[in-house]
Amino acid sequence: MAERHGLPAWTGVAGAGLLALLALLVLVLWNTGSMISVPVALPPLPRLETPVEVWLSTADQRLLLARQPNVVPGADGGPAAAEVVVDLGQGYQTMAGFGAALTDSSAWLLYNQLGSRQRGALLRELFGPPPGLNFKLLRLSIGASDFSLHHYTLDDMPAGQVDPQLEHFNLAAAQPAVVPVVRELLAIDPQLRIIASPWSAPAWMKTSANLIGGTLLEQYEPAYATYLVRYVDSMRALGIPIFALTVQNEPAFEPLTYPGMLLSAAARARIIGQYLGPALAGEASPPVILGWDHNWDEPDQPMTVLSDLDARRYVTGVAWHCYRGSPVTQTEVHRAFPRTDVYLSECSSGDWASIRKDRLLWYARDVLMASMRNWAGGLLYWNLVLDQKHGPHAGGCDACTGIVTIDTPQSAVVAAMRGTVTKLDTLRASSGHGEAFDAALDVADDLLQHAITLGEPAAVVHRNVEYYAFAHFSRFVLPGAVRVKSTSSASGVASVAFHNAGGGTAVLVVVNSEARQQVLAVSQGALRFHYPLPPYSMATLVWQPDTGGIPAMPTPAAASSSPWLPPIPLPTWPAPEFSIAPASSTSLP
């Protein structure tokens, strides 16, 4: 049969032999009715360790965010002085991002002292993605702050006159510089989140009848809420969405040299619960409301507002300043109200003798790191930009520094013209002078711009140490990252760790406050590596984490009513691993 199909006869014999051999093999391996398993030893697959990337800064500023050689996990780094353990299985708050305030002074410097190309490059560096600083938050003042060229609100009236219907409300004072710069920033990052805060109500609403001092008259609380809503609507009409509002900047402080006002917790609760909250709820895309917006030393202030049932419906977070108290207060309030977000909405550094030698590490350790270890998910510096004279400003701090300094060399002609414009602007703000006076001011502005264009030396941008303190976090900890548990066994070593979203990198920031090198032995899951951290330095270490055996994060009920922050992935609220209160020798003025 085989030959008839073209196959030789011997193939049949071979096939029969092969079947017999297979049958014999089965009989040999069969023992007492069961098969004997024959183990096959395979060589283990090698673990592919990705290198740990390192960026280093030293307090003496010889190194500032300097890229260092990669660290190889598993390599012997010698005896370790500090064990640092990172636990990706224990998560805390979700990070919103980092940023700074675009004060009137900052906007004026950016818009008037830099050419369009130089300004665009700087803004992209500050707000663009890594290797940019990657700022995601921006704070604006509603009306003047201490860092404005003059004092004003958005509905100023002649003495003795009132405007309860806000017929004279306008954004004119913000349009020359603030609005154009914010638009440039939104072109760089359309997802930029803007937080707005008023320093004072219009004078006619206040007990002092002045922008400086006093408090809000209760009869004008509805008008004040409308004033804030009008600001949100007017900015939106200009293409600038406001993400969050606070009712009053530093409501427990009455400044003597710049706009401000006292506003009690009871008044804030009424304004939010009865007027502002309901009015914003009717908006298509309403901003969220953040409570307090003042220092760490008065936790009862935000808790009083959060305990008010009407106000609590509309308050989604608490904003803090760093100038008094300890960041552990953030945890105290968070434990009482765990579904509220936490922001460090303002903290300036400055040219103060008490922190001059330790400015970089103080800000990174005692402000940023300590705030994040006490639940802060959004952190903002005060002035984004100031000049070499710590200004311009109209009262308040005379030694504050910006994230960057714009050094503005001036010809005598341009300097004189700038002085003239400032004087005219101040006179116009103090009382009405008519259209002729305004026209003269416009001419002076035009002449100044021509003088800058034709003869002004280029401004020089200096990056201050706070730039690098923020960069150690903002360039590597992306929005949506979760802060995770990190512990250190050595004194003088502070740490905070994060896990970027979507299975991203692990990020560890460490500060060595000792005068000696400390060899860190870092462990995360099965991954181990050593790193020698120099004296008085800070480092950011980034790696692909070992996620084997890490349980999935629990998914509790929504812990944040903010539309852009995911829920905090933690069902219980443990005590902070540490907190650092600024020592008296480094307290802010």
Residues 276 and 224 in one domain: yes
Q: Pick the closest to residue 545 from 89, 154, 32, 196 (CA basis).
A: 89
Q: Pick the closest to residue 377 from 425, 308, 317 (CA basis).
A: 317
Question: Which structural domain range is residue 31 located in?
Answer: 3-35
Question: What are the DSSP calls for 307-339, one per residue?
Answer: HSHHHHTTEEEEEEESSSS-THHHHHHHHHSTT
Number of independent structural domains in the chain: 4
Task: Could you list the beta-strand ranges (E) of 426-547.
Answer: 460-463, 482-488, 493-499, 506-512, 518-524, 527-533, 537-543
Note whether residue 42 is domain-resident. Answer: no
Residues 431 and 365 in one domain: no
Residues 128 and 155 in one domain: yes
The CATH number assigned to the domain holding 200 equals: 3.20.20.80
pLDDT at residue 565, as a whole number: 35
Exposure string over 538-559, b if 16+ CB within 10 A, otherwise e? bbbbbbbbbeeebeebeeeeeb
Are the C-beta atoms of residues 470 and 66 closer than 8 Å to each other? no
Facing residues of 94 across strands?
482
CA distance 563 to 479: 14
Q: Pick the closest to residue 109 from 346, 362, 404 (CA basis).
A: 404
What digits encode the pLDDT tens for the residues 53-87?
Answer: 999 999 999 999 999 999 999 866 566 667 999 99
Q: Pick the closest to residue 369 from 327, 426, 318, 324 (CA basis).
A: 327
The CATH number assigned to the domain holding 517 equals: 2.60.40.1180
Is 177 in a helix, a strand, or coil? coil
Residues 89 and 106 in one domain: no
For 426, other C-beta atoms within 10 Å of its C-beta total: 13
Estimate the crossing angle of helix 300-307 against helix 328-336, to 10 degrees. 20
For 168, other C-beta atoms within 10 Å of its C-beta total: 12
- Take residue 66 and report the two structure tokens written for it: 């300097």
Q: Tell me the C-alpha to C-alpha distance, in Å, between residue 483 and each of 135, 248, 280, 296.
A: 18, 29, 32, 21
Residues 267 and 118 in one domain: yes
Instruction: Indicate the pairing of strand 193-198 with strand 34-35.
Output: unpaired
Residues 425 and 316 in one domain: no
Residues 78 and 157 in one domain: no
Note whether residue 47 is domain-resident. Answer: no
pLDDT at residue 429, as a whole number: 57
Are the C-beta atoms of residues 379 and 372 closer than 8 Å to each other? yes
Q: Which H or E run contains 412?
A: helix 412-430
pLDDT at residue 79, as a whole number: 66
pLDDT at residue 455, as a whole number: 53
- Take residue 138 and report the two structure tokens written for it: 């921006």
Residues 418 and 396 in one domain: no
Are the C-beta atoms of residues 110 and 181 closer than 8 Å to each other? yes
Residues 204 and 349 in one domain: yes
Facing residues of 54 across strands?
68, 541
Residue 418 identity (one-letter amino acid):
R
Residue written as token pair 């009008």: 230
Residues 233 and 351 in one domain: yes
Instruction: Indicate the pairing of strand 460-463 with strand 482-488.
Output: unpaired
pLDDT at residue 357, as a whole number: 83
Is 456 in a helix, a strand, or coil? coil
- pLDDT string in tens for the chain (589-residue length): 333 334 344 444 444 444 444 444 333 334 434 333 334 444 443 444 689 999 999 999 999 999 999 999 986 656 666 799 999 999 999 999 999 999 999 999 999 999 999 999 999 999 999 999 999 999 999 999 999 999 999 999 999 999 999 999 999 988 899 999 999 999 999 999 999 999 999 999 999 999 999 999 999 999 999 999 999 999 999 999 999 999 999 999 999 999 999 999 999 999 999 999 999 998 889 999 999 999 999 999 999 999 999 999 999 999 999 999 999 999 999 999 999 999 999 999 999 888 888 999 999 999 999 999 999 999 999 999 999 999 999 999 999 999 999 998 765 555 565 566 666 656 655 555 666 666 666 666 666 555 555 555 678 999 999 999 999 999 999 999 999 999 998 889 999 999 999 999 999 999 999 999 999 999 999 999 999 999 999 999 999 999 876 655 543 333 333 333 333 333 333 333 333 333 333 333 3
Which residues contact residue 328 at a Cβ distance below 8 angstroms, ignoring those fewer than 6 apart? 296, 374, 576, 579, 581
Q: Pick the closest to residue 302 from 275, 335, 278 (CA basis).
A: 335
